[in-house]
């Protein structure tokens, strides 16, 4: 039994001991400073403050984790794709660290189970999964340094998820793809986004997309971006053969 675990057994609460054990199983190594990880899973709704009276939650650690994740992925791509341009490397990194992909990673690791919040977890929003994943990486870096952080990213991100040939064909923004295709082929593109909440308590947005003055697709979601991507994806499948052959 390591020293940290002995100290926890002697002086900490049952919750602390259970959290430590959970982190150890997740990380495959022993945390040294448990408070970093506790902050990584603390939602701002708790309004927690440290011993100096300063508020804390996962958001500052998310900033650190985002930088570390980008750095490790950039280094990996630089080595694995030695003959590719800066633009290619940037695009590939963006696909790996996209919000959608990070949310998937967070869900796969069930990180939400560690989150402490005053808001029901199913009401926080999907981005919490990716945000917490980045915060966890930030906590690892501050607690154990670059080598541990890099190994965690390699084991949890690169080995199971990074397949360069597949990523090359992955679409990260249907809206961007459709706009680019329209510009390239001199087609008129028009998107109309408007609030469409109706009788629902949660705000919704609707989208209509026209190409050459013909309405092609609609979308509706709880954010403008999601609604636009939903409609753009439908446009993509309508013109998939033309887009792929252009």
Same domain? For 45 and 112 the reply is: yes
The pLDDT score that the predictor gives to residue 121 is: 81
The residue segments making up the domain with residue 201 are 174-245
- For residue 61, the model assigns a pLDDT of 96
Query: Cβ(43)–Cβ(119) under 8 Å?
Result: yes
Residue 66 is among the residues annotated as catalytic for this protein? yes
Assess whether 105 and 212 both reside in one domain. Answer: no
Query: How far apart (Å, rounded) are the C-alpha atoms in residues 111 and 6?
Result: 25
**pLDDT for the residue 167:** 83
- How many structural domains does the chain have? 2
* pLDDT for position 158: 95
- pLDDT averaged over consecutive 10-residue blocks of the chain (246 residues)? 54 79 94 93 90 88 96 95 90 88 93 92 87 97 97 95 84 86 94 85 90 95 90 93 84
How far apart (Å, rounded) are the C-alpha atoms in residues 169 and 164? 9
- Residue where a domain terminates, one of 168, 203, 220: 168
> Rounded to an integer, what distance in angstroms lies between the CA atom of residue 20 and that of residue 34?
7
Same domain, 95 and 71: yes
Enter the pTM of the model: 0.73
Same domain, 86 and 131: yes
Say yes or no: 93 and 50 in one domain: yes
Same domain (yes/no): 40, 156: yes
State the burial class of residue 245 (Cβ atoms within 10 Å of its Cβ: 0-12, 13-18, 19+): exposed
pLDDT at 5: 56
Q: What is the pLDDT of residue 164?
A: 86
What is the structure's pLDDT at 72? 97
Token pair of 122, please? 């199913």
Residue in 62, 66, 143, 229 annotated catalytic: 66
Q: Are 7 and 127 part of one and the same domain?
A: yes
Same domain, yes or no, for 72 and 41? yes
Judgement on whether residues 80 and 158 belong to the same structural domain of the protein: yes
Give bridge partners of residue 218 from the DSSP assignment: 208
Catalytic residue among 21, 50, 134, 147: 134
**Is 134 one of the catalytic residues?**
yes
Torsion of CA 238, 93, 56, 143, to 10 degrees: 150
């Amino acid at each position: 039994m390591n020293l940290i675990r002995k100290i926890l057994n002697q002086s900490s609460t049952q919750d602390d001991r259970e959290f430590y054990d959970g982190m150890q199983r997740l990380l495959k190594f022993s945390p040294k400073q448990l408070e970093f990880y506790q902050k990584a899973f603390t939602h701002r709704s708790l309004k927690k403050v440290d011993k100096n009276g300063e508020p804390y939650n996962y958001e500052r650690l998310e900033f650190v984790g985002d930088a570390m994740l980008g750095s490790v992925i950039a280094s990996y791509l630089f080595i694995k794709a030695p003959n590719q341009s800066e633009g290619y490397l940037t695009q590939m990194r963006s696909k790996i660290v996209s919000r959608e992909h990070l949310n998937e990673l967070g869900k796969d690791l069930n990180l939400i189970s560690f989150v402490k919040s005053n808001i029901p977890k199913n009401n926080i929003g999907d981005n919490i999964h990716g945000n917490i994943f980045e915060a966890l990486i930030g906590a690892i870096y501050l607690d154990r340094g670059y080598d541990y952080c890099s190994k965690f990213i390699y084991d949890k991100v690169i080995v199971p998820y990074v397949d360069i040939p597949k990523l090359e064909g992955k679409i990260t923004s249907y809206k961007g793809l459709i706009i680019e295709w329209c510009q390239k082929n001199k087609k008129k593109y028009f998107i109309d986004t408007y609030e469409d909440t109706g009788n629902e308590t949660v705000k919704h947005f609707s989208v209509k997309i026209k190409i050459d003055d013909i309405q092609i697709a609609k979308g509706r979601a709880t954010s403008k971006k999601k609604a636009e991507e939903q409609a753009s994806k439908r446009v993509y499948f309508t013109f998939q053969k033309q887009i792929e052959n252009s």
